[in-house]
A and B are shown apart, each in its own frame.
Chain A
């Protein structure tokens, strides 16, 4: 089934803007402030002359007024590179009992499509890296960087073909797939972060001067644990089953799960990663609004 963005969500996406705190280093024209100073389009600031600056950048009028050498800086907008890291391991098969056709993986794919939509709105480039999954090449599936509506359609087709399942490979074997991500890119990691691998990947990228945002997808059943009576719990990534009485384990599970989530948030914040939790029965623009709303506090 094609990943389709519902029309109301698409309308709300128009008010969001991708932005990054780091300055992008890409060449070409874009909407983001770039580092490339010098003769450009917009006046940015006057800077004191330092040996090494080009003499023709000195603003002589200001020198006439102030008798000091000032260099005129201009900004040149550059495009942003957005990379979406999509977790396709077995834990993404989880769905709510109330809506068994809407799995965590489907919500993640919808989020990826929304992010691509935002990038196309701004003319930015975007690419996809799939972690794990049932693809024969393992974690090297995805889409290279590209821009424009045609690339968005290619992304949609690639998302349709994806299947999730199996365990995530460990972090060292996934490093080659991240080599395409240039510094000062914006990386959004979509996962449940139950395993350690996506967390380590995010930390590694953040330490290497990429701006990393993480969206943790959680099922409503995991947040509330509404089960009652005896159940046989099965891990979709394999492993032993648990035959437990649900009411007896609910309190402990909620406590431990909340602790784990809080610990994760602390760890990611410590690495300078902006983290948001998303219970995927809510509309998909909710986490994006938290991360990208230009008016809101998280700007």
Chain B
């Protein structure tokens, strides 16, 4: 049934007053009479203000035209209902097409790939994409009453955080298929650390070596370069300045292009706190410099200055703060993602009625022009 998607636009109906005012004229001003014996016509009163609506058919035409235009502005639309008995089957690209056809008994349905653009199943298999948003998109586009079947592998790659709440009742068909996690995960690259100012800060250097050992124990390969010369190399993951000195211009350029710099015993700290001890005292600050990061630690990296060093979880937390790992691909079991149907069904996809109304408005305008010009020639 038709609805108005922008009902506040009906305030344009106030324009209907304009033709009424135009047609609401005094009869006297309309009728011009040629009268040669004007000099004997007395200098009389003004005529009685008889007002009336002249040319009623034209007025009605104009009112109708304006009402149609106002209705067009209010964007009328109709819920599109599919034919009864229509069905749609969406197959995840991770599933083989033939296996999907065999599993679902719906030969007359509309078979499509669960991929952007929803290509038909006859098209070559597209690349896999996260299914959740695609399922929501299909649910929004399909007319009410269509039976929807979704064929997905049993382990879904990259579900998003929200549960699937759909307007259609979906037949959820997990099929065994190649799980996306079959790819072997590449091991993380070795950490290359460059240490400046090691001379004269032997106890800080010992702490750094201890941290590196702790990181190696957790499975990360770490290499230390204790006497770097010149600007940091491109594969250096982190430069640590133990003496609190500011870096030179070449190092700053390296930081701006995506490098990470840690300055301990820093005289100047800026940025947000990314690490604090148990009592809440800030230990590590992070500031963005170009595309890289500058970490500053106000205290020197020694057990006396930073008592939290003794905490067994400190190396892991420090590594997480300094070098956050990329988010690992989450997977979920398909049956966990069984979508729920929203009751009552939300208003379905709308088919706009604007083209039909625009055609009607154009016809009315043509009629109104014809009528107005015809009356004028008849009166002339």
* B contact residues around A9 at 8 Å (CB): none
B34 and A245 form a contact (CB under 8 A): no
Q: B327 at the A/B interface (Cβ < 8 Å)?
A: no
Contact, CB under 8 Å: B41 / A253: yes
Across the interface, which residues of B come within 8 angstroms of A194, CB to CB?
A: 36-37, 39
Interface of chain A residues 46 through 101 with chain B (CB within 8 A): 90-95, 97
User: Does A43 count as interface, using CB distance less than 8 angstroms?
Assistant: no
B 144-185 contacts with A by CB, 8 A: none
Which among A171-179, A226-234, A285-293 touches the partner chain? Answer: A226-234
Complex contact A252–B48 (CB within 8 A): no
Instruction: Provide the bound-state CA to CA distance between A145 and B121, in Å.
Output: 106
B28 at the interface (CB under 8 A from A): yes
Q: Are B26 and A230 in contact (CB under 8 A)?
A: yes
Which chain A residues lie closer than 8 Å to B40 at the CB level?
253, 256-257, 260
Interface flag for B278 (CB, 8 Å): no
Q: Provide the residues of chain B in CB contact with A92, threshold 8 Å.
A: 36
Q: Is A297 in contact with chain B by the CB < 8 A criterion?
A: no
Known: A232-B29, A232-B33. A239 touches B38 (CB 8 A): yes
* B contacts with A, residue count (CB < 8 A): 23
Query: Are A245 and B32 touching (Cβ within 8 A)?
Result: no
A170 adjacent to chain B (CB < 8 Å): no
Q: What range describes how many residues of A lie at the interface?
A: 35 or more
Given A230-B50, A237-B36, A257-B37, CB of A249 within 8 Å of CB of B42: yes
CB distance from A119 to the nearest CB of B (A): 29
For chain A, residues 222 to 246, give those with C-beta under 8 angstroms from any C-beta of chain B: 222, 227, 229-237, 239, 242-245
Q: Which residues from A are CB-within-8-Å of B34?
A: 93-95, 234, 236
- CB-nearest residue of chain B relative to A221? B35
Q: How far is the CA of A243 from the CA of B48 in the complex (A)?
A: 11
Chain B proximity of A225: nearest CB distance (Å) = 9
A230 and B28 contact, CB distance less than 8 A: yes
Look across to chain A and name the residue whose beta carbon is closest to the beta carbon of B35: A233
CA distance A180 to B9 in the complex (A): 81
B234 within 8 A of A: no
**Is B36 in contact with A236, judged by CB distance below 8 angstroms?**
yes
**Alpha-carbon distance A234/B34, docked complex (angstroms):** 5
Which residue among A221, A230, A249 has the maximum number of chain B CB atoms within 10 Å of its CB?
A230
For the complex formed, measure the closest distance between the CB of A197 and the CB atoms of chain B, giving whole angstroms. Answer: 14
Give the distance to chain B from A42, nearest Cβ to Cβ, in Å.
49
Tell me the minimal C-beta distance from A94 to chain B in angstroms.
4
Are A231 and B28 interface neighbours, CB within 8 A?
yes
Q: Does A262 contact B (CB under 8 A)?
A: no
A106 at the interface (CB under 8 A from B): no
**Cβ-defined contact, B37 with A245, below 8 A:** no
- Is the pair B27, A229 in contact by a Cβ cutoff of 8 Å? yes
Q: Is the CB of A234 within 8 A of B47?
A: no
Chain B residues whose C-beta falls within 8 Å of the C-beta of A237 in the assembled complex: 36
Distance, CA A249 to CA B27, complexed state (A): 17
A252→B38 CA distance, assembly (Å): 12
* From B31, B34, B43, B45, residue with most partner A Cβ within 10 Å: B34
B329 within 8 A of A: no
Q: Is B376 an interface residue, CB under 8 A from the partner?
A: no
* Residues of A with C-beta under 8 A to B45: 244-245, 248
Would you call B41 and A245 a contact (CB within 8 A)?
no
For the complex, is A124 an interface residue (Cβ under 8 Å from B)? no
B374 touches A (CB below 8 Å) = no
List chain B residues, Cβ under 8 A from A236: 34, 36
Nearest chain A residue, comparing its CB with the CB of B39: A194
Nearest chain A CB to B33 CB, angstrom units = 5
Scoring B residues 110 to 130 as 1 if CB is less than 8 Å from chain A, else 0, what string do you get? Answer: 000000000000000000000
* CB neighbours of A253 from chain B (8 A): 37, 40-42
Q: For the complex, give the distance between the alpha carbons of A95 and B36 in Å.
A: 9
Bound: A243/B43 CA distance, A = 9
* Chain B proximity mask over A149-166: 1 for CB below 8 Å, otherwise 0: 000000000000000000
Report the Cα distance A221→B34, complex, angstroms.
Answer: 11
Q: Please name all residues of chain B whose beta carbon is closer than 8 Å to the beta carbon of A221 when the two chains form the complex.
A: 35
Does B44 count as interface, using CB distance less than 8 angstroms? Answer: yes
Complex partner residue of A94 from B36, B42, B44, CB under 8 angstroms = B36
Determine the chain A residues whose CB is within 8 A of the CB of B46 once the complex forms. 243-245
A211 in the interface, Cβ–Cβ < 8 Å?
A: no
Q: Is A192 an interface residue (CB 8 A)?
A: yes
Q: Once bound together, how far apart are the Cα atoms of A92 and B28, in whole Å?
A: 24
- Partner pick for B35 among A234, A245, A252, CB 8 A cutoff: A234
8 nearest interchain CB pairs?
Answer: A230-B28, A230-B47, A91-B36, A245-B47, A94-B36, A256-B40, A233-B35, A235-B38
- Point out residues on B near A: beta carbons under 8 Å: 26-29, 31-48, 50
Name 14 interchain pairs, CB-CB below 8 A, sorted by A.
Answer: A94-B36, A104-B36, A219-B36, A222-B35, A222-B37, A229-B28, A229-B47, A231-B47, A233-B33, A239-B38, A244-B41, A245-B46, A245-B47, A249-B41
